[in-house]
């Protein structure tokens, strides 16, 4: 119980360091502003009201979750490396809290931010959809709420793994710019590289994380990138990568000499 | 041993095959202000980093009130307050938020203790401003505030007077001595400023090339038996011969318009008598007290030659 309350205090600290910065609120503002702009744009372009209702809008606005995810990557990539860049790591680590616990509190804060900004997107797009497009007339026509939730769910798995990757880079590199830059580069190159590898039919490419992170393909009848891939295989790969990222982050952070 | 707060035993840090800190051993008793003195690169900061668990210890141990820093880190570090190099705090938070942050990391610090340390370091007027608007001196004081928040048994400060104005330096010095006297806090400070150490410390360890070359009380160091006495006389050559014959260990030498000897204060009258008996005219007798700086240079230079 004592250990838990210590951890909660550490998480409060990490949250303070995230939410006392104007940048974080700018990220939230951008998400809200884009949802509103999107709704107004759709309404103006779609004079015949063919687009549909609030749920259809939510389903469409769900694509903006990628932006929310990018913001979470920035937070994740900076949360450990930033302490080194600022020099505050020297004051943070000389307290009666183990390095593991400090790292865990940072990881929890990152996941809370990711979830928080997705929840924000979800509710803002719902509210905007209601105001601009109104409730669905009859059920069964367009996408349903369950479709929207499913979409968010599948993306969440993808995002959590990738945010964990950025978090690992943050724990490994002492420069937050390097950690952010590397996360983005790898993320943006990965889809291009995957497309090329799939075109070339390199069988080993199925072991790459990015071939497996979109689990929705197994549920909506699309074909996996490689014919012999199954849901079980992809889930196993995701879990293995996740464990590897966590292990690398924890081992390097615990062992590191804090000098310079 | 109940009075010893910090025990350093055989402390060694190697990186690759370079030895940065080499078998340091010393104790710091309760309520003592202890100085780590040495030129840049002597291993002061590395020693401090090992003491607070920021870097691993290659060999040896650091014991704080009976707890081993490497093996019982949380218990040992709960008794330590420190500033390692510059006090780098969260610039985007206010001074008060910084203190809240560090207070949350140690169980059992009431809010009033935060207000107490804020007034101790005289930051009441600016504590709710963002740290990025603070001057270096204010940051240094905020650094001290976070270090004493939990009333540590040992306070470790790396170059504590860096960036302070003379008034600030004096305040810091008085405050550290006050903490040591009234609360029994052991204070370990590192510096390359000898004059600072002389005013602040009870004992000083001289480090060079990672090795401990000397630990001694500051009084001994400054006013050691070794006083240089210069006799201004009419016939220096003859005077030197007389003194050499009577007291060869005082190493008489010509210079400074007379004869210089290194001797005990108590022996000066007998040396004067010797000169008078030899019919040598004495114009003046001057003693040159060796400062800590001379001593330090002597000790470190000696090390370099050997």
Nearest chain B alpha carbon to A93: B54
Q: Count the alpha carbons within 13 Å of A74 in the hemisphere toward its beta carbon.
A: 12
Nearest CA-CA distance, residue B98 and chain A, Å? 10
B111/A contact by beta carbon, under 8 A: no
Which pLDDT value is given to residue A220? Answer: 82
Which pLDDT value is given to residue B303? Answer: 47
| Range B115-142 burial, b when 16+ CB lie within 10 A, else e | eebbeebebeebbeebbeebeebbbbbb
Nearest chain B alpha carbon to A7: B105
A254/B contact by beta carbon, under 8 A: no
Among A20, A87, A93, whose Cβ lies nearest the Cβ of B97? A20
Which pLDDT value is given to residue B220? Answer: 56
Coil, strand or helix at B95: helix
In the predicted model, is pLDDT for residue B224 greater than 60?
A: no
The dihedral built from the CA positions of residue A134, A135, A137 and A140, taken in this order, carries a sign that is positive
Cα(A232)–Cα(B23) distance, integer angstroms: 56
Nearest CA-CA distance, residue A260 and chain B, Å? 9
Which pLDDT value is given to residue A69? Answer: 94
Cα(B137)–Cα(B143) distance, integer angstroms: 10
In the predicted model, is pLDDT for residue B288 greater than 60?
A: yes
- When pLDDT is averaged across residues B161-168 and rounded to a whole number, the result is 78
Query: Tokens representing A14?
Result: 């990490």
Q: Count the alpha carbons within 13 Å of A187 in the hemisphere toward its beta carbon.
A: 22
- Residue contact B88–A10, C-beta within 8 A: no
Which pLDDT value is given to residue B302? Answer: 52
Express each pLDDT in B79-111 by its tens digit: 999 998 888 999 999 999 999 999 999 988 999
Tell me what ipTM this predicted complex has.
Answer: 0.90
Among A86, A93, A94, whose Cβ lies nearest the Cβ of B90? A86
Coil, strand or helix at B203: strand
The DSSP symbol for B190 reads E
Express each pLDDT in B234-275 by its tens digit: 888 888 888 888 888 777 888 767 888 888 778 888 889 988
Consecutive sets of 10 residues in chain A, 260 residues long: mean pLDDT of each?
84 97 96 94 77 85 92 96 94 95 97 97 94 75 85 94 96 91 90 89 90 89 87 96 97 89
Q: Evaluate whether residue A201 is within a structural domain.
A: yes
Q: Evaluate whether residue A248 is within a structural domain.
A: yes
Cα(A155)–Cα(A149) distance, integer angstroms: 10
Coil, strand or helix at B139: helix
Count the domains in chain A. 1
Lowest-pLDDT range, A159-168, B124-133, B171-180? B171-180
- Residue contact B53–A91, C-beta within 8 A: no
Q: Evaluate whether residue A97 is within a structural domain.
A: yes
| Mean pLDDT over each residue of chain B, to the nearest integer | 87
Percent with pLDDT over 70 in chain B: 91
Give the pLDDT band (50/70/90) at residue B294.
Answer: low
In the predicted model, is pLDDT for residue B300 greater than 80?
A: no
CA B5 distance to own-chain centroid: 17
In the predicted model, is pLDDT for residue B305 greater than 50?
A: no
> Which residues form the domain of A108?
2-255
Lowest-pLDDT range, B113-117, B127-131, B282-286? B282-286
Which pLDDT value is given to residue A52? Answer: 75
Q: Evaluate whether residue A241 is within a structural domain.
A: yes
Nearest CA-CA distance, residue A90 and chain B, Å? 7
Domains and their CATH numbers in chain B: 4-222 (3.40.50.300), 227-289 (3.30.70.100)
Express each pLDDT in A174-196 by its tens digit: 888 999 999 999 988 988 999 89
In the predicted model, is pLDDT for residue B306 greater than 60?
A: no
Cα(A259)–Cα(B21) distance, integer angstroms: 14
- Residue contact B107–A17, C-beta within 8 A: no
Which pLDDT value is given to residue A155? Answer: 95
Express each pLDDT in B3-57 by its tens digit: 899 999 999 999 999 999 999 999 999 999 999 998 888 899 999 999 999 999 9
Which pLDDT value is given to residue A260? Answer: 62
In the predicted model, is pLDDT for residue B1 greater than 60?
A: no
B242 dihedral zone (left: phi>0; alpha: psi -120 to 50; beta): alpha
Query: Count of A–B CB contacts within 8 Å?
Result: 79
Among A10, A21, A90, whose Cβ lies nearest the Cβ of B88? A90
How many other CB atoms are there within 10 angstroms of residue A206's CB atom? 19
> For chain B, what percentages of helix, strand and coil (3-state, to nearest 5) are there?
40, 30, 30
| Range B220-249 burial, b when 16+ CB lie within 10 A, else e | ebbeeeebbbbbbbeebeebbebbeebbee
The dihedral built from the CA positions of residue B198, B199, B203 and B207, taken in this order, carries a sign that is negative
- Provide the chain B residues 133-162 that lie in CB contact (below 8 A) with chain A: 146
Q: Evaluate whether residue A8 is within a structural domain.
A: yes
Query: Tokens representing B204?
Result: 């000083």
For the question of whether the overall pTM of this predicted structure is more than 0.90, the answer is no
Q: Evaluate whether residue A260 is within a structural domain.
A: no
- Provide the chain B residues 66-85 that lie in CB contact (below 8 A) with chain A: 73-75, 77-78, 80, 82-85
Which pLDDT value is given to residue A159? Answer: 95
How many other CB atoms are there within 10 angstroms of residue A208's CB atom? 17
């Amino acid at each position: 119980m004592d250990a838990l309350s210590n951890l909660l205090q550490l998480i409060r600290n990490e949250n303070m360091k995230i939410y006392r910065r104007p940048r974080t609120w700018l990220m939230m503002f951008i998400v809200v502003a884009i949802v509103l702009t999107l709704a107004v744009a759709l309404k103006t372009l779609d004079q015949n009201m063919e687009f549909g209702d609030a749920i259809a809008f939510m389903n469409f606005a769900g694509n903006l979750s990628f932006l929310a995810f990018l913001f979470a990557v920035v937070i994740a990539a900076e949360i450990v490396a930033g302490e080194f860049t600022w020099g505050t790591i020297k004051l943070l680590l000389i307290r009666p809290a183990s390095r593991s616990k400090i790292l865990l509190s940072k990881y929890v804060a990152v996941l809370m931010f990711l979830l928080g900004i997705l929840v924000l997107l979800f509710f803002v797009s719902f509210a905007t959809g209601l105001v601009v497009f109104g409730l669905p007339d009859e059920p069964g026509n367009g996408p349903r709420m369950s479709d929207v939730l499913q979409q968010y769910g599948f993306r969440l798995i993808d995002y959590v793994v990738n945010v964990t990757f950025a978090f690992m880079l943050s724990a490994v590199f002492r420069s937050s710019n390097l950690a952010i830059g590397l996360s983005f580069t790898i993320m943006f190159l990965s889809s291009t590289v995957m497309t090329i590898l799939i075109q070339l039919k390199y069988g080993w490419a199925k072991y790459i994380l990015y071939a497996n992170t979109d689990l929705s393909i197994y549920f909506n009848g699309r074909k996996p990138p490689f014919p012999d891939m199954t849901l079980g295989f992809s889930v196993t790969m995701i879990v293995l990568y996740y464990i590897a990222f966590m292990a690398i982050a924890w081992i390097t952070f615990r062992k590191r000499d804090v000098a310079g | 041993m109940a009075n010893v707060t910090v025990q350093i035993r055989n402390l060694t840090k190697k990186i690759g095959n370079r030895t940065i800190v080499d078998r340091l051993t010393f104790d710091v008793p309760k309520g003592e202000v202890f100085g780590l003195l040495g030129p840049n690169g002597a291993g002061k900061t590395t020693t401090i980093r090992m003491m607070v668990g920021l870097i691993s210890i290659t060999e040896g141990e650091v014991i704080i009130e009976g707890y081993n820093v490497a093996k019982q880190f949380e218990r040992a570090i709960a008794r330590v307050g420190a500033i390692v190099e510059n006090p780098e705090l969260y610039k985007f938070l206010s001074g008060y938020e910084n203190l809240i942050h560090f207070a949350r990391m140690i169980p059992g610090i009431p809010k009033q203790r935060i207000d107490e340390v804020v007034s101790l370091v005289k930051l009441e007027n600016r504590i709710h401003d963002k740290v990025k608007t603070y001057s270096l001196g204010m940051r240094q004081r905020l650094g001290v505030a976070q270090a004493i928040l939990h009333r540590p048994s040992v306070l470790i400060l790396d170059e504590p007077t860096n960036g302070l104005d003379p008034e600030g330096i004096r305040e810091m010095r008085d405050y550290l001595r006050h903490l040591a006297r009234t609360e029994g806090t052991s204070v370990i400070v590192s510096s390359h400023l000898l004059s600072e150490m002389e005013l602040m410390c009870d004992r000083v360890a001289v480090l060079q090339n990672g090795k401990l070359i000397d630990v001694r009380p500051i009084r001994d160091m400054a006013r050691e038996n070794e006083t240089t006495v210069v006799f201004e006389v009419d016939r220096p050559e003859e005077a030197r011969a007389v003194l050499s014959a009577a007291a060869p260990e005082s190493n008489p030498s010509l210079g400074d318009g007379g004869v210089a000897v290194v001797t005990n204060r108590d022996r000066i009258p007998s040396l004067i008598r010797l000169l008078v008996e030899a019919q040598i005219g004495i114009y003046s007798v001057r003693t040159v007290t060796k400062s800590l700086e001379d001593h330090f240079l002597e000790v470190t230079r000696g090390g370099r030659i050997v």
